[in-house]
Chain A
């Protein structure tokens, strides 16, 4: 029981009783609900965990990720903030300095930038500047990426802008189980974590075992095994890549799909192992390809696997253009056809 009051390990089960009894507690839920349950269990386990952001209280957030939390944990722990992102992150830093573990919600990807200064110049660097004497366990939740037909600033994928900054960790789950566990682990992390939630997948259901011992937060996962080519993706594109692998199978091609899960740090070992087997790699993300996270994967894997590669590492992603209006997003976003096209090209070498 006592262990549940602390948040020092990444394997603390959500329910001490369930863990003690050793029976798995598996439930099917959408990603949105898994995040909600994860926040709830983190708040139950550690009274220092706070949730803050715009409309996270009564409304439960515009995506309802914090639904019911204010009702159950009160206005002191689930805090509707003034409409000011720099204020949200800046004050979360102060709360963290005072021993709290704030989980802040940025309403949409495009609205994180008023807070970018606080994130980059303060949050990311403070631990190092204090010679490691202080910790900044702040989680910044960002519903990101496109596919929901929204107006501008509601569909962007800015992860590279954060992954590029030393001092920040960046992760993105692709399924309900990861949503649950990666959120718990991010909250338990003593480093700041930018947590990218694939908003168009919020309603995708999956099984969550709240008694499981989760994989490490920054480990990639082989989501589907295959021998002809490796697809690496994270967040919303994992599902797309699994669909691609299905379609390719019907044409007699066996694709391995790797869910990167973490954009900083990145688990290159898992990708390397896969590419040493398949000899081909296509990296997929919604964010623009130019200087994106895929560029880093391509460069590292080329360095590590040069003699195993049968084709150059190809990248599929957004263009060097603003995210287009909703009626063009299906063309803009990497979908089945565009990924398959890259797969064809890689296999043709």
Chain B
């Protein structure tokens, strides 16, 4: 008699929750790793030279990280159907600002008009295609072991390009870890985004060069940084705007609620741009809110609007309006871009454990790039030569990214001690010196093993 079956019987009697044990599945295989853990291809490790301490050098070998994080295939489980009109998503009815339908039809909205030249429209198309290409390239680089992890933006190109292109150079962006499309709009070299995912740095770009802050992994923190930055903008009497990106999951964090409070109280020129991609890892948006997220703004005293997050025109128009509002001293605004995370949460995630394939298929039909292309083609705003040139550029981008990653240098060991403080610190200096001496002892293989200091 196994322990489980005995105990399961008693559980079912005591609490009424048992009786389902017959269907119990074996636990996940070892190595079915976490949301953000990953494999990092590493170069050979330093070890004491064989002559000096042979036994030890051999012992330092570890199993490869790939072995620990390989993911077995899993079968899909049926997800509970969502109740329409309930929870964070509500009905995606008239409240959703849309200027371009999934079929590529231009429609008008009473509050948000947009008039773009053919060239501007083609520019948005190019941005989205290149962003997607960069993103898929990064995903395959992760599969090849070049990156430890990647957080794909697949499906969210319109939300990011539309909002990103609404900004001026002097505006300031506070991203999450998924804003590769916004980074593109800000002119950040895409290959710079790969450093932290490869594990060579914890940031990798100078935020002040493009007014694009570092990626923030701790969920929701950056909403307050954006608010404070915006408070500074007002104190300076400047007319820049600040934009904070965050997700549906992040909307639950205290930091985000506090950012709403502060920005409202100080009338700070900040736009809260929430990409509701329906999922926070395995939790659907209904787990985070019982009202549509944009409606939360009202309780804090500023407007909120929901926009079709797969419609680049609507995202651009609404963000422009929000940014203008901020510039003209009218305070914060919340934009909820209603979109979908087409891929896994990250390359470490296995969405078949918690969501239905059909859901993804429904959103596939709302693809942001396909609808803009349909519009461009239908209205004769772009010709074959244009699309061919974008394809070419996309290929070149892929090649560039692959080359960049392979030539990306590993950090120097002593970088551990760099930039810990702006003004230096005695303990860091001491530990740096000790560690340098320790490392040097390996080079000095003539020294006998047991000799101390």
List, in ascending order, chain A residues with CB within 8 A of B47's CB. Answer: 337
Report yes or no: A55 in contact with B283, Cβ–Cβ below 8 A: yes
Give bound CA distance, A14 to B3, whole Å: 7
List, in ascending order, chain A residues with CB within 8 A of B197's CB. Answer: 151
Report yes or no: A320 in contact with B425, Cβ–Cβ below 8 A: yes
Point out the residue from A72, A113, A325 that lies within 8 Å of B21, measured CB to CB. Answer: A72
Give bound CA distance, A347 to B56, whole Å: 17
Whether A62 is near chain B, meaning CB under 8 Å from some CB there, is: yes
Report yes or no: A55 in contact with B281, Cβ–Cβ below 8 A: yes
Name which of B37-45, B235-243, B357-365 contacts chain A. B37-45
Once A114-B253, A319-B435, A331-B416 are accepted as A-B contacts, the answer to whether A150 and B453 lie under 8 Å apart by CB is: no
Nearest CB in chain B: distance from A294 CB, A: 14
Name which of B8-16, B163-171, B261-269 contacts chain A. B8-16
**Closest Cβ neighbor of A29 among chain B residues:** B27
Whether B413 is near chain A, meaning CB under 8 Å from some CB there, is: yes
Give bound CA distance, A14 to B416, whole Å: 46
Report yes or no: A83 in contact with B288, Cβ–Cβ below 8 A: yes
Instruction: Kindly state the interface size class of chain A when it binds its partner.
Output: 35 or more
Once A243-B59, A325-B201, A332-B416 are accepted as A-B contacts, the answer to whether A55 and B35 lie under 8 Å apart by CB is: yes
Give bound CA distance, A71 to B78, whole Å: 12
Whether A59 is near chain B, meaning CB under 8 Å from some CB there, is: yes
Give bound CA distance, A77 to B17, whole Å: 9
List, in ascending order, chain A residues with CB within 8 A of B191's CB. Answer: none
Nearest CB in chain B: distance from A6 CB, A: 11
Provide the B36-67 mask, 1 if CB < 8 A to any CB of A, else 0.
Answer: 11111010011110000101110110000100
List, in ascending order, chain A residues with CB within 8 A of B38's CB. Answer: 149-151
List, in ascending order, chain B residues with CB within 8 A of A247's CB. Answer: 53, 55-56, 59
Name which of B298-306, B388-396, B444-452 contacts chain A. B444-452
List, in ascending order, chain A residues with CB within 8 A of B449's CB. Answer: 251, 344
Once A16-B6, A55-B281 are accepted as A-B contacts, the answer to whether A325 and B69 lie under 8 Å apart by CB is: no
Whether A108 is near chain B, meaning CB under 8 Å from some CB there, is: yes
Report yes or no: B450 in contact with A347, Cβ–Cβ below 8 A: yes
List residues 81-138 of chain A with CB under 8 A from any CB of chain B.
Answer: 81-84, 86-87, 107-108, 110-111, 113-114
Give bound CA distance, A40 to B15, whole Å: 14
Instruction: Name, among B14, B47, B220, the residue most crowded by chain A CB atoms within 10 Å (CB to CB).
Output: B14
Report yes or no: A4 in contact with B1, Cβ–Cβ below 8 A: no
List, in ascending order, chain A residues with CB within 8 A of B250's CB. Answer: 83
Once A110-B218, A114-B253, A149-B39 are accepted as A-B contacts, the answer to whether A325 and B30 lie under 8 Å apart by CB is: no
List residues 259-283 of chain B with CB under 8 A from any CB of chain A.
Answer: 280-283
Once A321-B417, A325-B202 are accepted as A-B contacts, the answer to whether A32 and B27 lie under 8 Å apart by CB is: yes
Q: How many residues of B contact A (CB 8 A)?
A: 97
Report yes or no: A336 in contact with B59, Cβ–Cβ below 8 A: yes
Give bound CA distance, A189 to B21, whole Å: 27
Once A331-B46, A345-B453 are accepted as A-B contacts, the answer to whether A151 and B199 lie under 8 Å apart by CB is: yes
Nearest CB in chain B: distance from A15 CB, A: 4
List, in ascending order, chain A residues with CB within 8 A of B68's CB. Answer: 148, 200, 203
List residues 293-349 of chain A with CB under 8 A from any CB of chain B.
Answer: 319-322, 324-328, 330-332, 335-338, 340-341, 344-345, 347-349
Nearest CB in chain B: distance from A95 CB, A: 16
Whether B353 is near chain A, meaning CB under 8 Å from some CB there, is: yes
Give bound CA distance, A86 to B257, whole Å: 13
List, in ascending order, chain B residues with CB within 8 A of A345's CB. Answer: 452-453
Once A62-B34, A319-B435, A324-B416 are accepted as A-B contacts, the answer to whether A337 and B56 lie under 8 Å apart by CB is: yes
List residues 148-173 of chain A with CB under 8 A from any CB of chain B.
Answer: 148-154
Report yes or no: B283 in contact with A80, Cβ–Cβ below 8 A: yes
Report yes or no: B416 in contact with A319, Cβ–Cβ below 8 A: yes
Once A63-B33, A348-B450 are accepted as A-B contacts, the answer to whether A18 and B6 lie under 8 Å apart by CB is: yes
List residues 38-58 of chain A with CB under 8 A from any CB of chain B.
Answer: 40-41, 43-45, 47, 54-55, 57-58
Nearest CB in chain B: distance from A313 CB, A: 15
**Closest Cβ neighbor of A348 among chain B residues:** B452
Whether A25 is near chain B, meaning CB under 8 Å from some CB there, is: yes
Provide the B180-221 mask, 1 if CB < 8 A to any CB of A, else 0.
Answer: 000000000000000111111110000000000000011110
Give bound CA distance, A30 to B27, whole Å: 11
List, in ascending order, chain A residues with CB within 8 A of B219's CB. Answer: 83, 111
Nearest CB in chain B: distance from A146 CB, A: 11
Point out the residue from B435, B441, B451 that lies within 8 Å of A348, measured CB to CB. Answer: B451
Report yes or no: A327 in contact with B453, Cβ–Cβ below 8 A: no
Give bound CA distance, A156 to B12, whole Å: 40
**Closest Cβ neighbor of A16 among chain B residues:** B6
Give bound CA distance, A15 to B253, whole Å: 40
Give bound CA distance, A131 to B410, whole Å: 56
**Closest Cβ neighbor of A58 among chain B residues:** B354
Report yes or no: B353 in contact with A108, Cβ–Cβ below 8 A: no
Whether B105 is near chain A, meaning CB under 8 Å from some CB there, is: no
List residues 67-85 of chain A with CB under 8 A from any CB of chain B.
Answer: 67-68, 71-74, 76-77, 80-84
Nearest CB in chain A: distance from B27 CB, A: 5
**Closest Cβ neighbor of B248 among chain A residues:** A83
Nearest CB in chain B: distance from A203 CB, A: 4
Nearest CB in chain A: distance from B101 CB, A: 32
**Closest Cβ neighbor of B77 among chain A residues:** A58
Report yes or no: A320 in contact with B428, Cβ–Cβ below 8 A: yes
**Closest Cβ neighbor of A338 among chain B residues:** B438
Provide the B415-453 mask, 1 if CB < 8 A to any CB of A, else 0.
Answer: 111001000010110010001001001100000011111
Whether B400 is near chain A, meaning CB under 8 Å from some CB there, is: no
Whether B7 is near chain A, meaning CB under 8 Å from some CB there, is: yes
Whether B25 is near chain A, meaning CB under 8 Å from some CB there, is: yes
Nearest CB in chain B: distance from A214 CB, A: 15
Whether B255 is near chain A, meaning CB under 8 Å from some CB there, is: yes
List, in ascending order, chain B residues with CB within 8 A of A57's CB. Answer: 282-283
Report yes or no: B354 in contact with A44, Cβ–Cβ below 8 A: no
Whether B407 is near chain A, meaning CB under 8 Å from some CB there, is: no
List, in ascending order, chain A residues with CB within 8 A of B425's CB. Answer: 320
Report yes or no: B24 in contact with A68, Cβ–Cβ below 8 A: yes
Whether B158 is near chain A, meaning CB under 8 Å from some CB there, is: no
Whether A210 is near chain B, meaning CB under 8 Å from some CB there, is: yes
Point out the residue from B53, B249, B428, B438 that lies within 8 Å of A321, measured CB to CB. Answer: B428
Nearest CB in chain A: distance from B81 CB, A: 14
Whether B411 is near chain A, meaning CB under 8 Å from some CB there, is: yes
Q: List 15 A-B contacts (CB under 8 A).
A: A41-B7, A45-B7, A47-B17, A54-B281, A64-B28, A71-B23, A83-B250, A150-B148, A154-B37, A251-B53, A290-B427, A321-B428, A330-B42, A347-B450, A348-B450
Closest CB pairs A-B (n = 9): A348-B452, A326-B199, A62-B34, A59-B282, A149-B40, A82-B252, A64-B28, A203-B30, A15-B3
Other A-B pairs, 10, CB within 8 Å; known A149-B40, A246-B59, A347-B452: A62-B33, A62-B35, A71-B25, A111-B218, A143-B34, A199-B34, A199-B37, A210-B3, A319-B417, A321-B431
